[in-house]
Amino acid sequence: MPSKWVPLESSPEWARSLGLPPSPLSFQDLFSLDVEFLQFIPKPVKAVLLLFPSRGELHEARKREEASGEGEWDGSGVWWIKQTIPNACGSIGLLHALLNLPSEGAYALTPDSPLLRFKEASLPLSPLKRAELLDTADFFEAAHKAAASSGQSAVPEDLDVDTHFITFIQASNSKGEERVVELDGNRSGPFDRGSCSDLLRDVAKIVQEKYMARAGGDVNFNMIVLAGEE
């Protein structure tokens, strides 16, 4: 029996069966943070997923950020879930990307899809109760089986127990200001990373300054972008 926690791969087309619209959105690997490269990524960018080495000074710096109250989210309308299930950070990251898509329009989840039904059921619940609901859901296992039957390969989650997936999205705070919001099921809630004018460029700067610069030379980073075309 495969685990229902579907491994997150660099091009998770199996997300289509969960409710990701067939177009115009797709997941794309991000190979460089150079501004010249970023301009070739299709717009709009709806989410950026980051895999990073959660250890050493970087790990301690993130703990200090939260302990100080830095980044406390002042807003609503962001879907966030607490991670209570081991080895599921890739799946949680994917949920944070997909369940924060617009509620209507070309980039909305497919009507009556597994993900949309799960989101609707989870909205009245606390982040911890959402985690309990997720633990009883079977749509990830179904997606895993569909991917396996179609011959898609998958990279196992958490090959290195000291790496972690998080997601960045754009959202408005209580003042109507556009912000970069970091979504990590291991934090106490959504984390405000600062003003947002261009999500991909702003996230690239955050990753360079708040993650790579604190990693002590560790290069175990990977980024995936959920983007489409206007």
CATH assignment at residue 179: 3.40.532.10
Whether 144 is catalytic is no
For the chain, report the end-to-end CA distance as a whole number of angstroms: 41
In a domain, 23, yes or no: yes
- Of 1-10, 93-102, 144-153, 218-227, which range is least confident? 1-10
* Cα–chain center distance at 72: 18
Q: What's the pLDDT at 80?
A: 97
2 found inside a domain: no
Q: Is the pTM value of this prediction over 0.85?
A: yes
pLDDT at 47 over 60: yes
Q: Say which range, 22-31, 71-80, 82-91, 137-146, has the weakest mean pLDDT.
A: 137-146
Whether the CA torsion 29, 33, 37, 40 is positive or negative: it is positive
Q: Is residue 8 part of a domain?
A: no
Task: Please check whether residue 89 lies inside any domain of the structure.
Answer: yes
Within a domain: residue 74? yes
Domain extent at residue 138? 13-227
> Is 89 assigned a catalytic role?
yes
Report the number of distinct structural domains present in the chain. 1
In a domain, 153, yes or no: yes
87 located within any domain: yes
Structure-block tokens of residue 118: 């799960």
Give pLDDT tens digits for 113-126: 999 999 999 999 99
Active-site entry in 89, 96, 144, 196: 89
The single residue listed with the structure tokens 């807003």 is 75
Residue type, 163: T
